[in-house]
């Protein structure tokens, strides 16, 4: 089981919010977002830690890559399975269905959030997924919903999708965010997309838009 910072809730907590950190960060990195995004406590929030320790600097990662940026499949798949199990472990004891989950990831965590939420699966999908300064990873071995036979675009139960990126991002180039938006659009998934004059970070103006999107998701799903 993933090491997890259980932030909890100050309210009803009838949705589950999963905040997935980026490369080299940890399970405490995004926890401060919870009361800003959800001051009313509509969500029970958990922040998992990636299973790969980043040495010698500390922090954690979700998957390994070689010097050319090629993902090691086993590390990605193990993390995906662990996150899937985490959702059930956090939601079920509180009577929260998977369909009332929102998954938000930053950078490498954004790739994990999209894969967890948009992959080809028989389990219920979350209500919403947000990728912040991240990317849609599309290696041949990762099967998304649109790879399934008979895919005709989003149907009932498909999550709302949100993507935001900084135009000055030196870590994950803005074109990765734009490609994410365009690939999704090519499969009939219209993500809410925002760009900001920022680097590899989360700024107040980006939080305002993310919170507005989350408010809509929680109010309608």
Question: Which CATH number covers residue 35?
Answer: 3.40.50.1820
64 among known catalytic residues = no
Choosing from 84, 200, 209, 215, the catalytic residue is 200
Q: What is the mean pLDDT of residues 151-158?
A: 94
Q: For residue range 23-33, list pLDDT tens digits in order.
A: 999 999 999 99
Q: How many domains does the chain have?
A: 1
What tokens appear for 195 in the block?
């760009």
What tokens appear for 31 in the block?
């926890």
Q: How far is CA 85 from the centre of its chain?
A: 15
Query: Residue 100: pLDDT above 90?
Result: yes
Q: What is the mean pLDDT of residues 4-15?
A: 96
Query: Residue 69: pLDDT above 90?
Result: no
Q: What is the mean pLDDT of residues 116-131?
A: 97
Q: For residue range 12-67, list pLDDT tens digits in order.
A: 999 999 999 999 999 999 999 999 999 999 999 999 999 999 988 889 999 999 98
- pLDDT score at 56: 84
Range of the domain at 141: 4-220
- pLDDT score at 125: 97
| 115 in Cβ contact with 137 (< 8 Å) | yes
Choosing from 107, 117, 133, 206, the catalytic residue is 107
Query: Residue 1: pLDDT above 90?
Result: no
- 58 C-beta neighbours (distance < 10 Å), count: 10
* DSSP character at residue 122: S
What is the spatial distance between Cα 183 and Cα 178, in angstroms, rounded to a whole number?
9
Choosing from 29, 79, 169, 194, the catalytic residue is 169
- 88 C-beta neighbours (distance < 10 Å), count: 12
CA neighbor of 69 nearest in space, from 103, 23, 102, 35: 23
Query: Strand 43-48 relative to strand 4-8: parallel, antiparallel, unpaired?
Result: antiparallel
Q: For residue range 72-94, list pLDDT tens digits in order.
A: 999 999 999 999 999 999 999 99
What is the spatial distance between Cα 125 and Cα 158, in angstroms, rounded to a whole number?
6
169 among known catalytic residues = yes
200 among known catalytic residues = yes
């Amino acid at each position: 089981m993933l090491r997890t910072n259980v932030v909890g809730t100050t309210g009803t907590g009838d949705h589950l919010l999963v905040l997935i950190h980026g490369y080299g960060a940890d399970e405490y990195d995004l926890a401060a977002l919870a009361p800003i995004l959800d001051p009313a406590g509509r969500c029970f929030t958990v922040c998992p830690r990636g299973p790969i320790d980043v040495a010698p600097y500390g922090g954690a990662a979700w998957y390994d890559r070689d010097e050319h940026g090629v993902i090691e499949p086993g590390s990605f798949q193990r993390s995906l399975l662990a996150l899937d199990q985490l959702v059930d472990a956090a939601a079920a004891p509180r009577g929260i269905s998977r369909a009332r989950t929102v998954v938000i990831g930053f950078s490498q965590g954004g790739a994990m959030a999209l894969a967890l939420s948009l992959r080809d699966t028989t389990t219920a999908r979350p209500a919403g997924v947000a990728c912040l300064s991240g990317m849609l990873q599309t290696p041949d071995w990762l099967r998304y919903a649109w790879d399934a036979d008979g895919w005709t675009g989003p149907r009932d139960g498909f999550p709302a999708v949100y993507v935001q990126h900084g135009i000055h991002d030196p870590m994950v180039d803005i074109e990765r965010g734009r490609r994410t938006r365009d690939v999704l659009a090519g499969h009939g998934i219209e993500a809410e997309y925002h760009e900001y004059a920022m680097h590899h970070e989360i700024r107040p103006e980006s939080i305002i838009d993310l919170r507005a999107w989350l408010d809509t998701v929680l109010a309608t799903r």
